[in-house]
Amino acid sequence: MKKLLVCLTILASVFVSGSATQAIYGGDSAIGDTRVASVIKDSITSRTSFCTVSLLTPQIVVGAAHCSDARTTHYGLPYDSSSFTPYADFWVAQPGVDILKDDTSTRVKVVKGYITKGWSNTFPCTATSACTQVDDIVFWVLEKPLVASYAMTVANAQEVAALKSSGSEVTHIGYGYYKLLTDANPVDGTPRKLIGNATSLDNNQQGKITGRTIITKTSTTQSVCPGDSGSPVYSTFSGKEKIFAVQYAGYGGGGLCDTNPWPAGKTPMVQNTLIYPYIDLIRSEPLAAAVVAAFDSSDVATATTVPAVIATQKSATISCVKGKIVKKVTAINPKCPTGYKKR
């Protein structure tokens, strides 16, 4: 039965505000990981991460639309064209760096964006208004190549359908909070990653099922957080890793970075915009030709055969002890939180 699960209002407002924060709560270090990068706003020398993005090619990155005009004069206004000039100065840092220590001269400026025509950064949403969380995806074109070479293929519709059906493993990587919002010093400028699972849950947006999003879930001690907006989500399809979505908000109160104490046994879930429905946005962009060609080739190859994704992995539960406190952790590969020991 299709259920309407609404984001926790307070958390959702943080996710979509373009909150300047840095890494995934409870995640493992992703320093040096080429699959993730930080967006810097207003000054090339800023040491504050604005949002998270990922490379598709050396000059094309993908992220969340709500980061495109947050804290600008365009906020809340519709985009008159799918191709636009950025409404603020944005730079993308080198993939996987510590933005508190990186060489800021290696950051590359964003010069163009591609977004769904008519999209507006409007939240909360109504059934008739524009909505921040519908079509929440943007492609950025960089002034020059960020790296010498890079290629990441976008998963197609058949592959995503198989992923949803199997509930297979996915990887989130981001520059959002790595501690609770109430903890001291919850940021450190580095990316973190976590392993979760795809779900087949329907996502009701403005009273209808769009089929353009996917809900993922993480372990009971990890969560995607503010600052992870636009962060990539990867999975393996027929033995090849591909990007299939970008994260934009918590789901059903599933992002728990503002919850202290952490609710025992709660499984965080997040909403992610699928990329394949939006590939046509960059079809006319010369610098995105390789992305489109790789996607089209993959789409043709799987038109009649649904690819074999990795087998569904079952979750396990362990008990973790810290003094007299006992926590149960449920995940595919459960680990005890920092300071706890496995019992």
Domain-embedded: residue 92: yes
321 pairs with which residues across the strands?
A: 326, 341
Q: Minimal CA–CA distance to 276: which of 312, 309, 233, 217?
A: 233
Q: Are 125 and 206 in contact (CB under 8 A)?
A: yes
Domain contains 125: yes
Of 57, 67, 31, nearest to 193 by C-alpha is 31
Q: How many domains does the chain have?
A: 2
Q: Label residue 141 by pLDDT band (50, 70, 90).
A: very high
- Contact status, residue 101 vs residue 94, Cβ threshold 8 Å: no
Q: Evaluate whether 69 touches 41 at the Cβ level (below 8 Å).
A: no
Lowest mean pLDDT among 146-160, 202-216, 246-260: 246-260
Range 240-245 average pLDDT: 98
Does 331 lie in the same domain as 186? no
Residue 2 covered by a domain? no
* Contact (Cβ atoms closer than 8 angstroms) between residue 95 and residue 35: yes
Residues 280 and 339 in one domain: no
Same domain, yes or no: 115 and 240: yes
Residue 204 resides in a domain: yes
pLDDT digits (tens, 9 = 90+) for 15-33: 433 333 335 667 889 999 9
Q: Judge whether 237 and 309 are in contact, CB under 8 Å.
A: yes
* Pair 208, 332 in one domain: no
Q: What pLDDT shows up at residue 240? A: 96
On whether residue 323 sits in a domain, the answer given is yes
Q: Which pLDDT does position 76 carry in this prediction?
A: 86
217 and 322 housed in the same domain? no
Tokens of 329: 């952790």
Cα distances (angstroms) measured from residue 60 to each of 142, 183, 285, 339: 6, 35, 10, 40
Rg (the chain; Cα; Å): 19
pLDDT digits (tens, 9 = 90+) for 252-301: 654 556 555 666 667 778 889 999 999 999 999 999 999 999 999 987 77
Q: Which domain holds residue 338?
A: 314-343
Asked if the structure places residue 291 within a domain, the reply is: yes
Tokens of 55: 């490379």
Q: In the predicted model, what is the mean pLDDT of residues 172-192?
A: 74
Q: Is residue 189 part of a domain?
A: yes
pLDDT digits (tens, 9 = 90+) for 259-269: 556 666 677 78
Same domain, 157 and 132: yes
Pair (66, 38) in one structural domain: yes
Rounded CA gap, 289 and 286, in Å? 5
Q: What pairing do the DSSP bridges indicate for beta strands 204-205 and 208-209?
A: antiparallel
Task: Give yes or no: residues 265 and 200 share one domain.
Answer: yes
> Residue 69: which of 7, 126, 18 has the closest Cα?
18
1-5, 51-55, 255-259, 330-334: segment of lowest average pLDDT? 1-5
Q: Are residues 213 and 330 in the same domain?
A: no
Regarding whether 321 and 291 lie in a shared domain, the answer is: no
Say if 146 falls within a structural domain. yes
Q: Which residues contact 263 (CB under 8 A, 6 or more apart)?
A: 256
Question: What does the block give as tokens for 139?
Answer: 């492609």
Q: Which of 122-126, 165-169, 207-211 has the highest mean pLDDT?
A: 165-169
CATH number of residue 76's parent domain: 2.40.10.10
The reply to whether 237 and 98 lie within a common domain is yes
Here the tokens at position 231 are: 């962060």
Q: Cα 303 to chain center, whole Å?
A: 27
Torsion sign (Cα): 128, 131, 135, 141: positive
| Co-location of 240 and 287 in the same domain | yes
| Rounded distance between C-alpha atoms, residue 238 and residue 334, angstroms | 25
Residue 7 has pLDDT above 50, yes or no: no
